[in-house]
Amino acid sequence: MNKPSLRPLIVFTIPVLILLVLALPPVWTTMTGDVIKIKTAPVDPTDLFRGSYVALQYEIESVKPSQLDSSIKSDFNTRNTGDYKKVYVRLKQNTDGLYDVDSVTKEKPGNGIYLKGELQIPYDLQNAKTIQIRYGLDNYFASEEKAKEMEKDALANPSVAVVKVRNGNVVLTDIIIE
C-alpha cells in the first residue's frame, strides 16, 4: 500500500464507512421492526436552533423500583448516583393495545418486545418512588404549523407514539392524537 494516489481515497472512505455503520441499526429497525404504540404526551413544540419539533414524555420512562431486576439494584452501590446505566426494558401489551413496562433487566431478553434504555441511578434510592429511563425517543420533528397544532390538540386529547422495535433498537415513526 505504497501508492500515494490511494491515500485520499482511504481517508475519504473511512468516515463514510463510520457514518454507514451508525445509520444501519435505525434503518434496519425502520424496515423490519415490529410496530407498537406507547402512551405519550407532547411537552414543547419549538427550539430556536433545531427547528420545529415536539418534545415527548412517555409513561414508560418512569419505572417503579419493584420493576427492576435485583442485579440492577446491586449495581447502585458500586456506581455514582446520577450516572446512566445501560438496561433492557421488557414491554407487555395492556388491554388498550398500548405497551407498558413489564420488567427492567441488565441482560438482553431472549424474546419478546424490549427496548434498550439508559437508567439514571437515583440520588435517593431508599425513598425513590420512580426511576427514570431514557430511550432516545424524546423528539418528533414536524413542520412548524404541524408541531403547534399537535401541541394544541394534545392538551385536550391523549396522544400515542407509534414506534418500530427490533432487537431493542427503536425508531419513532408517528404521533397519533386521539
Q: Which three cell numbers stand for residue 65?
A: 423500583
Beta bridge partners of 172: 163
Residue type, 72: I
pLDDT recorded at residue 105:
92
pLDDT along the chain (178 residues), means of 10: 77 91 90 88 61 79 89 73 85 92 91 91 79 86 77 77 89 84
Beta bridge partners of 47: 51
Q: Which helix (H) or strand (E) holds 171?
A: strand 169-177
Distances (CA, A) of 129 to 67, 79, 120: 11, 20, 13
| CB 140 within 8 Å of CB 23 | no
- Classify the phi-psi angles of 105: left when phi > 0, otherwise alpha if psi is within -120 to 50, otherwise beta: beta
Cα 128 to Cα 124: distance, rounded to the nearest angstrom: 6
| CB 122 within 8 Å of CB 168 | no
Helices (H), ranges, the chain:
7-32, 70-75, 144-156
